[in-house]
Chain A
């Protein structure tokens, strides 16, 4: 038995490798393409730093959206409106009423969660179709948002609030006016962790005699990821360093990656999307799974509202319009199934980055918004077509 497995693991199959990593390859291709189209400007430190900061809120939303999509291809249309409502509330509380930041932030996140609970209740326990419920939510929360803002644009100048989300990390001694070294330190720590975990996971598997990927595959992967990470950190040293916003985004992605891949609770989302009835008969409360997917989406949308407010500095009645579509697009480009039951956080991150690179590349080239929409839509469709066709060919 074990010999069969080793064979399967050690043989390098180019076709399988390409299919499995198709989106990573697409990302690299698009990146290189825009690198040349923009005469290398894409890789400027400032642009690279902004790539993640501009798309940070998309990543946060997409983490929540993935859970909804996993339950059966269900989406949440209300995210953009919740962002407007929560962002608006924060802005009004801080600017018009002078409420403390440490009260405002928890209150606003709770309001986002409440919006999620409201929708989750109807979807999970009353079984109103998610599309209808969140379409309703999209109008309702947009309306509340405008009421709170009184249809005006409200700006935030509160330094404490802005610092919590948009400041850059300064480690005394490392970071001075002349040079910023902290990204490299943090990058080195991350690389050390990646290499350590690769080694320990391999030796653990070897000890117990489990199936292994080939050493080249495992270490190659670790080295490529480390190299990209270090290079990115190096770029950050050239432009302001690490933003707190980046920390928020990375931490949230890590948390949701952990939940979806390692916990029993995360697995229930896959189970519900795969076969709800069988899941129910396996003693799992599927109503609760739906409820939590949407309640959680509300929570993350609330957080996104704050991130957006901090990054833009102001909120108006149309803030967040069609943001949910970016999140949904990222999930599907990143390989989530439109029928639910499959999709991963790393995939979603790749999807979001792919959209982000296209947006940024075209902006640098000075191509207008309208064309960006056309290209975005085309990429989304292409990605899903590729996914469907390639899985059909492999005979599944």
Chain B
């Protein structure tokens, strides 16, 4: 047997009415990368919150042994003192403070007089930043560096706390493939120096790439632990464990029935940055999508895909927008989202919590919001009718919820995404723009969303899909456009598209 750093024994945690964790066991050995996987709501984050003391000892049953010693953490500070550091999915950095200030927030480097020693702070900060290969000044503001680098700051911060066991909750969900790979390589590098990591992720290829072991959690219970080199360690095997059945086809098949008619066409579309007017975000882009067709936009983050979509959707992004937009062959000028919606265009945002849903309101409220006029007569809401259409839409989307009066903020990520899709399906779009429609949601919910896309094109509508997951684009689209640095770099037929080809378009563009 190896050297066990952490053992969690029969952990059970109950919330009012819900058993979030039921007799979960987890064994992690020193110097390994241990992946924790499961569908949304399976209990991964709860387990890590138990470990880190976010849920204090006593609020759960079971035992935690760390370095062979029984631990009862009351707060996050207790676990950090032992070298257990958790980095959450939503980064806990303050945009208007510097890297150094963030790194020692709550843990300030003080001199004898009791005030902050800034020289020491920045010196220490840069020492840890070098450890993670971050070449920035420690006095740079967080808001001025990208998400990839922010993730590195979090890790450097963990090092400053003398981390022994690093827990990363979906560290790559907001990173593009390139940055994600860099991060994983970094973890492998640290492993050589003896750091133990637990990584929670939905991206199975990352697990295959970097993890030594994978523990699968389903419905609050541990299902199994797979060991690389001993058990079968493949994506299909993991999916089988996660959903409890083998999933042969990750992308539902559809008959490709692309019509000749063009649903949406954009010619010479140029968008400038909303604040720095001279900066061009999208440069002279032309593309089209036929009826009954799914097209994809691939590219790295910052390639200008979201900006392109939003600028088309009623100029909801950017300034000095020029170019021509045709819907059903007719030239239109959409000045705001309202006009876009009335021209049967829908944009499903990549950021459902910030730009998509009103989290404090019910599913019913959110479903009808974009087209309230459909359930109104003379400005007065017909509540009975509203409930009816919301019920229908919730059922059509397959959203799992006790009732349509449920606050969307209380739904899981996958169900929120379905509620968001329901909201836009309610507008009856002819052209549906999906921006990262499957980000941060589990395999089962992804499949449901792919089925909805297929249903849309079957009905002769057009779908534009922006995604950072290349397999998803290759699996779902008829054609794929590749963008980089605000320019269109290529167009691929889905049949001939491979990840390598897409990557080569992006890279060649850089040269």
In the complex where A274-B358, A341-B358, A395-B15 touch, is A281 in contact with B372 (Cβ < 8 A)?
no
The answer to whether A275 and B358 touch (CB under 8 A), given A264-B372, A282-B337, A282-B370, is: yes
Minimum CB–CB distance for A394 against chain B, Å: 9
Smallest CB separation, A277 vs chain B (Å): 5
Complex Cα gap A264–B380 (Å): 6
**Interface assignment of A97: CB less than 8 Å from any CB of chain B:** no
B381 adjacent to A275 (CB under 8 Å): no
Greatest chain B CB density within 10 A among A5, A210, A278, A395 is at A278
Question: Contacting B340 at CB < 8 Å: which of A208, A263, A279, A283?
Answer: A283
Q: How far is the CB of A257 from chain B (nearest CB, A)?
A: 13
The contact of B337 among A8, A271, A281, by CB within 8 Å, is: A281
CA–CA, A199 and B316, complex, Å: 46
Cβ–Cβ < 8 Å partners of B266 in chain A? none
- Whether a CB of chain B sits under 8 angstroms from the CB of A280 is yes
* A-B CB contact pairs (8 Å), 10 listed: A204-B384, A208-B388, A262-B383, A264-B372, A267-B369, A271-B365, A284-B369, A341-B358, A396-B407, A396-B410
A283 near B360 with CB under 8 A, answer: no
A6 to chain B: closest CB distance in Å? 12
CB pair A281–B349 under 8 Å, yes or no, is yes
Check B336 against A283 for contact (C-beta < 8 Å): yes
In the assembled complex, how far is the CB of residue A387 from the closest CB belonging to chain B, in whole angstroms?
14
Binary flags per residue of A332-349, CB closer than 8 Å to B gives 1, else 0: 000000000110000000
Q: Which residues of the partner chain B approach A10 to less than 8 Å between Cβ atoms? A: none
In the complex the two chains form, what is the Cα distance from A204 to B384 in whole Å?
9
B356 at the interface (CB under 8 A from A): yes
Asked whether B357 lies within 8 Å of A278 as measured between CB atoms, the reply is yes
Q: How many residue pairs bridge A and B at CB < 8 Å?
A: 91
Bitwise, A249-277 to B at CB < 8 A (1) or not (0) is 00000000000001111010011001101
Q: Which residue of A lies closest to B339 (CB)?
A: A283
A265–B347 contact, CB under 8 A?
no
Contact with B along A131-173 (1 / 0, CB 8 A): 0000000000000000000000000000000000000000000
Known A204-B384, A267-B381, A277-B354; contact A282-B369, beta-carbon cutoff 8 A? yes
Further pairs besides A270-B361, A278-B356, A278-B357: 14, Cβ < 8 Å: A262-B380, A262-B381, A263-B380, A265-B379, A271-B361, A274-B361, A278-B349, A279-B358, A279-B369, A280-B316, A281-B355, A283-B342, A284-B338, A395-B15
Question: Do the beta carbons of B358 and A264 come within 8 Å of each other?
Answer: no
The complex places the Cα of A278 from the Cα of B403 at a distance, in Å, of 22
Give the distance in Å from the alpha carbon of A340 to the alpha carbon of B338 in the complex: 23
Cβ of A100 within 8 Å of any chain B Cβ, yes or no, is no
- Nearest A residue to B352 via CB reads A278
* Chain B residues with CB under 8 A of A395: 15-16
B340 to chain A, nearest CB (A): 7
Bound: A341/B407 CA distance, A: 13
- Cα of A173 to Cα of B365 in the assembled complex, Å: 50
Bound together, the chains give a CA A307 to CA B380 distance in angstroms of 30
Interface size class on chain B is: 35 or more
Which residues in B have their C-beta under 8 angstroms from that of A265?
Answer: 379
Q: Cβ of A210 and Cβ of B365 under 8 Å apart?
A: no
B365:A267 contact, CB within 8 angstroms: yes
How many Å from the CB of B106 to the closest CB on chain A? 23
A277 vs B355: C-alpha distance when bound (angstroms): 5
In the complex, the chain B residue whose C-beta lies closest to that of A339 is B360
Contact of B379 among A4, A264, A274, A284 (CB under 8 A): A264
Give bound CA distance, A280 to B337, whole Å. 7
Q: Does A200 lie at the interface of the complex (its beta carbon under 8 Å from any beta carbon of B)?
A: no
| Alpha-carbon distance A206/B365, docked complex (angstroms) | 22
Looking at the complex, which one of B313, B357, B379, B380 makes contact with A275 (CB distance below 8 Å)?
A: B357
Give chain A interface residues in 283-308, CB to chain B under 8 Å.
283-285
From A208, A274, A279, A280, B360 is in contact (CB under 8 Å) with A274
Contact of A342 among B349, B356, B360 (CB under 8 A): B360
A281 close to B381 (CB less than 8 A): no
How far is B385's CA from A210's CA once the two chains are assembled, in angstroms?
11
CA A265 to CA B378, docked complex, whole Å: 11
Inside 8 A of B355's CB, which chain A residues have their CB?
Answer: 277-278, 281
Chain A residues in 8 Å Cβ range of B316:
280-281
Nearest-neighbor residue (CB-CB) of A277 within chain B: B355
- Residues in A neighbouring B441, C-beta threshold 8 A: none
Do A271 and B338 touch (CB < 8 A)?
no
B387 engages A283 (CB within 8 Å) = no
The answer, yes or no, to whether B171 is at the interface (CB within 8 Å) is: no
CA distance A99 to B316 in the complex (A): 50
* Contact yes or no, A210 B337, CB < 8 A: no
B282-318, CB < 8 A from A: 313-314, 316
Find B314's partner among A263, A283, A341 (CB 8 Å cutoff): A283
Which residues of B from 321 to 368 have beta carbons under 8 Å from A?
336-342, 347, 349, 354-361, 365
* A264 to chain B: closest residue by CB: B372
Closest-by-CB residue of B relative to A276 is B358
Q: Is the CB of B384 within 8 A of A210?
A: yes
User: Does B2 touch A at the CB level, under 8 Å?
Assistant: no
Task: State how many angstroms separate the Cβ of A111 from the closest Cβ of chain B.
Answer: 28
Residue on A with the closest CB to B349?
A281
B423 contact set on A, CB distance < 8 A: 282
Specify which chain A residues have a CB less than 8 angstroms from the CB of B189 in the assembled complex.
none
CB distance from B436 to the nearest CB of A (A): 15
Bound Cα distance A283, B346 (Å) = 10
Q: Is B116 an interface residue (CB 8 A)?
A: no
A301 to chain B, nearest CB (A): 25
Contacts of A283 in B (CB 8 A): 314, 336-342, 370
Q: How far is the CA of A4 from the CA of B356 in the complex (A)?
A: 29
Indicate with 1 or 0, residue by residue over A208-239, a CB within 8 angstroms of chain B CB atoms. Answer: 10110000000000000000000000000000
Q: Are B356 and A264 in contact (CB under 8 A)?
A: no
Q: How far does the alpha carbon of A263 sit from the alpha carbon of B410 in the complex, in Å?
A: 26
Q: Does B402 contact A (CB under 8 A)?
A: yes
CB distance from A260 to the nearest CB of B (A): 11
B337 — which chain A residues lie within 8 A by C-beta? 280-284
Q: Check B358 against A278 for contact (C-beta < 8 Å).
A: yes
CB <8 Å contact, A264 and B15: no
User: Which residues from B are CB-within-8-Å of A8?
Assistant: 402-403
Tell which of B372, B373, B387 touches A210, judged by Cβ atoms closer than 8 Å: B387
A263 touches B336 (CB 8 A): no
- Bound together, the chains give a CA A281 to CA B316 distance in angstroms of 7
Whether the pair B369, A271 counts as a contact (CB closer than 8 A) is yes
A208 touches B384 (CB 8 A): yes
- Complex CA–CA separation, A46 to B357 (angstroms): 50
Is A264 a contact partner of B376 (Cβ separation < 8 A)? yes
- Contact partners of B15 in chain A: CB under 8 A: 395
Contact A5:B403 (CB < 8 A) given known A210-B387, A279-B369, A281-B349:
yes
> How far apart are A345's CB and chain B's nearest CB, in angstroms?
16
Query: How distant is A304 from chain B, measured CB to nearest CB, in Å?
Result: 26
| Whole-angstrom CA separation of A203 from B407 in the bound complex | 27
What's the nearest-Cβ distance from chain A to residue B54, in Å? 15
- A264 touching B360 in the complex, CB below 8 Å, given contacts A280-B316, A280-B337, A281-B355: no
Bound Cα distance from A4 to B380, whole angstroms: 30
The 10 closest A-B pairs by CB, nearest first: A274-B358, A283-B338, A282-B370, A264-B372, A283-B341, A283-B337, A275-B358, A282-B369, A264-B376, A277-B355
Nearest CB on B from A365, distance (A): 41
- Write out the residue numbers on chain A whose beta carbons fall within 8 Å of the beta carbon of B388: 208
